[in-house]
Amino acid sequence: MAAKPGAATPTYSPKLVGRTRLPILKDSDLDWSRPDGRGFHQCRPALLQTGAVSSASGSAYAEFGNTKVIVSVFGPRESKKAMVFSDVGRLNCNVSYTTFASPTIGQGTDHKEYSSMLHKALEGVIMMETFPKTTVDVFALVLESGGSDLSVVISCASLALADAGIMMYDLITAVSVSCIGKSLMIDPVTEEEGCEDGSFMMTCMPSRYEITQLTLTGEWTTPNINEAMQLCLDACSKLGEIMRDCLKQAASASEE
């Protein structure tokens, strides 16, 4: 696990950048606070564990606040579908929600948009040439939807791939930011996503400090985009350290 029993669960909040003023929703809303009591630039504690599914080639469990995700990786294995020989392997991704994940989201069905975005986030970091004419299947299941679901799924999937021994250029970490009024809130929960004016998600390779994917929706000003990018880069870097520590602890435990 990323945290030993009885120890404080690690967090990866970025440093405050640029402005030092107190973020606000509206000029008249000075006493507004986040539903879970966090600061606007404070991420939720992250609990990570590998080897969550014994039947899989690799797996991981991630818990970020009330968002709980489990990812299983199978392969490389022979593709069930006929495919022309290729020097590179094939990656399949599927994201689904349990029937009890949320009263309004998922309803136990596959999420095609998230599946596609997970594939895009992972395909650039996996060394596909290391498993030609075979397939790696990644199955992500959202057990509980508490906000920032996709970013948690992507980070958890990266950890599961590493647990499966799949060759990658680096781990992939993902962090989201919501823009509500004049304020930027990192790692938003469901209530915040429901009233946001804009959403921002970044995936990156933390060791290389390289951005691999940006998703931007809604209304954003250039200064807010720049601030959101810096917040996400810093948080992704710190999350990457927590993920590497999780893998090191798992490796040490297997040797004992």
Q: Concatenate the DSSP letters of all residues of 167-213 into one string.
A: -BSS--EEEEEEEETTEEEES--HHHHTT-SEEEEEEEETTTTEEEE
Residue 84's Cβ-count burial label (10 Å; 0-12, 13-18, 19+) is: exposed
Task: Classify 232 as helix, strand or coil.
Answer: helix
- What pTM was computed for the model? 0.83
What's the Rg (C-alpha) of the chain? 18
User: What is the per-residue pLDDT for 24?
Assistant: 35
Least confident of 47-56, 75-84, 135-144: 75-84
Say if residue 176's pLDDT is above 50. yes
Tokens 């948009």, residue located:
113
Residues 79/96, Cβ–Cβ less than 8 Å = no
Q: Bridge-partner residues for 194, per DSSP?
A: none
Amino acid identity of 239?
Answer: L
Element (H, E) at 33: none
Token pair listed for 16: 């405050």
- Assign 112 a pLDDT band (cuts: 50, 70, 90): confident
User: What is the per-residue pLDDT for 12?
Assistant: 54
CA distance 230 to 14: 9
Say if residue 37's pLDDT is above 60. yes
User: What is the per-residue pLDDT for 23?
Assistant: 37
pLDDT digits (tens, 9 = 90+) for 127-166: 888 888 888 899 999 999 888 999 999 999 999 999 999 9
User: What is the per-residue pLDDT for 14?
Assistant: 56
Residues 250/163, Cβ–Cβ less than 8 Å = yes
CA distance 65 to 229: 22
User: What is the per-residue pLDDT for 6?
Assistant: 41
Least confident of 10-14, 83-87, 88-92, 196-200: 10-14
pLDDT digits (tens, 9 = 90+) for 2-25: 444 444 456 555 544 443 333 334
In Å, the largest CA–CA distance within the chain is 63
Mean pLDDT of the chain: 82
Q: How many CB atoms lie within 10 A of CB 16?
A: 16
Token pair listed for 226: 């720049």
Q: What is the arithmetic mean of pLDDT over 183-200?
A: 90
- Assign 101 a pLDDT band (cuts: 50, 70, 90): confident
Torsion sign over Cα 78, 131, 119, 171: positive
CA distance 205 to 38: 26
Say if residue 232's pLDDT is above 60. yes
